[in-house]
Amino acid sequence: MTGAKRFLPRRLALGAAALSLMAAAVFGQLAVAADANTTGLAVTDTEVTVGQLHSATGTMAISETGSIQAERLAIEQINASGGILGRQIKIIQEDGASDWPTFAEKAKKLLVNDKVATVFGCWTSASRKAVLPVFEKENGLLYYPTFYEGLEQSKNVIYTGQEATQQILAGLDWVAKEKGAKTFYLIGSDYIWPRTSMKIARKHIENVLGGKVVGEEYYPLGNTQFGSLINKVKLKKPDVVFAAVVGGSNVAFYKQMKAAGVTAAKQTLLTLSVTEDELLGIGGENMAGFYASMKYFQSLDNPNNKAFVEAFKAKYGKDAVIGDVTQAAYLGPWLWKAAVEKAGSFDVDKVVAASPGIELTTAPEGYVKVHDNHHLWSKTRIGEVQADGQFKVVYESGLIEPNPFPKGYQ
């Protein structure tokens, strides 16, 4: 009896300690819930709302549909694994319709009316430039998935694609070395990304590679008539056609190139803008032997990518393809989840502060890390177009530190 009396207080003390720990844990969860719900954003105790803003219609839909699909797959996987801070992710999708003022209008709706916690969106630099003032004014957060010209850095954007040093300069260095290229013909669609990219390319060709630009042409988005351009290319006989034609125009451009006899057997071509998504419309047989400079190709042979491709095809069909921007779009929700959980809050300022240093070892491309400048450490890869619409990787760099403001290229 005496032993029992001695034991009872200790037992009660242990029980009280356990209750205190449980109370602390519950209080901690409530604190996180309370913190998340004081942001003014569309966050409840069970749900957080995000926005998707891509072109589901218009000339850019051929490129942006994959981004929509990849972001939805990532969000579905995150929800299946328990969500973020105990909340399921709800999506409000808006269509930028390949029209830049529409992108700005829809961005404002998502941030001001819907109060979304973040937005995954845009493809072209024109659409990004259109929404950027809205995100900065309303203090929203955009995950932007497309390779682009660089020369930009914003507190309100995480850039999950490549900037110029990781795609343009690295691609030109490769083709100059591997193909002995000295003369270049620059071709692009007529808006900010191709024009700025080619301005950077020209400086690199002339000032670093000691080469010569023998032609430079731009065509409106959606243009389908390239006969005159192709004749000029045949006349100039450049060592390399360096192309940044985007959206549906690619289908007409490459089909007309092949019809005119401009094939890889006679002409080296390096594109910055054709991925597996565009090849689906172009047809691999119309580009076979040409090259693309990207950081990701569906054919990458690593466990992360195999799992990603399998999940993507399971959701969207066995014939679905995955391009560079599609993969970069897939990274967005995962990087946001990691930053939110690191911050312990959905508050934009806290998420932004938590983002530098975030690493994804599960990225299909292999590994990425968020730099202080909000871009990702990534590799450059050169892929050779195959007739089946896939790419054979013929070159892979080491990890390249992002540098959106390279000296001498501004």
The pLDDT tens digits of the residues spanning 247-277 come to 889 999 999 999 999 999 999 999 999 999 9
**Weakest mean pLDDT among 20-29, 36-45, 125-134, 229-238:** 20-29
- 11 has a pLDDT exceeding 90: no
User: What's residue 365's pLDDT?
Assistant: 98
Both tokens of 307, joined, read: 């799992």
Segments of 190-282 assigned E as strands: 212-219, 240-244, 268-271
Amino acid at 358: I
- Terminal-residue alpha carbon distance, the chain: 86
Residues 6+ apart with CB under 8 A from 33: 45, 85, 86
Percent of the chain with pLDDT over 90: 89
Q: What average pLDDT score do residues 288-293 get?
A: 98
- Return the CATH fold of 45-161+300-375: Rossmann fold (3.40.50)
pLDDT tier at 37, thresholds 50, 70, 90: low
Of 158, 169, 172, 145, nearest to 365 (Cα)? 145
Q: Which value, in Å, is the radius of gyration of the alpha carbons in the chain?
A: 24
Amino acid at 189: S
Q: Buried (b) or exposed (e) across 102-127, using 16+ Cβ within 10 A?
A: bbbebbbbbbeebbbbbbbbbbbbbb
- 205 has a pLDDT exceeding 90: yes
Cα–Cα–Cα angle for 215, 217, 324, rounded to 5 degrees: 105
User: What's residue 35's pLDDT?
Assistant: 54
pLDDT tier at 33, thresholds 50, 70, 90: very low
Q: What average pLDDT score do residues 9-28 get?
A: 40
Q: Which helix (H) or strand (E) holds 54?
A: strand 47-54
Residues 6+ apart with CB under 8 A from 146: 122, 123, 124, 125, 128, 161, 325, 328
* Alpha-carbon gap, residue 297 to 328, rounded angstroms: 11
- 292 has a pLDDT exceeding 60: yes
Model confidence pLDDT, tens digit, residues 118-169: 999 999 999 999 999 999 999 999 999 999 999 999 999 999 999 999 999 9
Q: At what angle do helices 100-108 and 125-138 cross, to 10 degrees?
A: 20
Q: What average pLDDT score do residues 294-314 get?
A: 98
User: What's residue 12's pLDDT?
Assistant: 37
User: What's residue 3's pLDDT?
Assistant: 42
Domain limits, the chain: 45-161+300-375, 165-299+378-398
CATH number 1.20.140.10 given to 165-299+378-398: no
Q: Do 339 and 358 meet the contact criterion of CB atoms below 8 Å apart?
A: yes
Residues 6+ apart with CB under 8 A from 173: 209
Of 69, 146, 64, 143, nearest to 97 (Cα)? 64
Q: What average pLDDT score do residues 92-121 get?
A: 98
Question: Quick check: do 45-161+300-375 and 165-299+378-398 share a fold?
Answer: yes
Collapse the DSSP code of 20 into the 3-class scheme (helix H, G, I; strand E, B; otherwise coil) and give the result. Answer: helix
* Alpha-carbon gap, residue 65 to 72, rounded angstroms: 11
Both tokens of 330, joined, read: 């897939």
User: What's residue 410's pLDDT?
Assistant: 81
Polymer length of the chain = 410
Q: Do 275 and 217 meet the contact criterion of CB atoms below 8 Å apart?
A: no
DSSP 167: I
Residues 6+ apart with CB under 8 A from 185: 213, 214, 215, 216, 217, 232, 233, 236, 238, 240, 241, 242
Q: What average pLDDT score do residues 49-71 get?
A: 95
Residue reference for tokens 């630099």: 125
User: What's residue 301's pLDDT?
Assistant: 96
- 371 has a pLDDT exceeding 50: yes
Q: Buried (b) or exposed (e) across 135-164, using 16+ Cβ within 10 A?
A: beeeebbbbbbbbbbbbbbbebbbbbbbbb
pLDDT tier at 36, thresholds 50, 70, 90: low
Model confidence pLDDT, tens digit, residues 312-367: 999 999 999 999 999 999 999 999 999 999 999 999 999 999 999 999 999 999 99
Q: What average pLDDT score do residues 76-100 get?
A: 98
Q: What average pLDDT score do residues 96-110 get?
A: 97
DSSP string covering 375-393: BEEB--EEEEE-TTS-EEE
User: What's residue 27's pLDDT?
Assistant: 41
Query: Taking the model in full, what pTM does it have?
Result: 0.89
Collapse the DSSP code of 283 into the 3-class scheme (helix H, G, I; strand E, B; otherwise coil) and give the result. Answer: coil
- The CB density around residue 41, as the number of other CB atoms within 10 Å, is 21
User: What's residue 384's pLDDT?
Assistant: 98
Model confidence pLDDT, tens digit, residues 169-187: 999 999 999 999 999 999 9
Percent of the chain with pLDDT over 70: 90
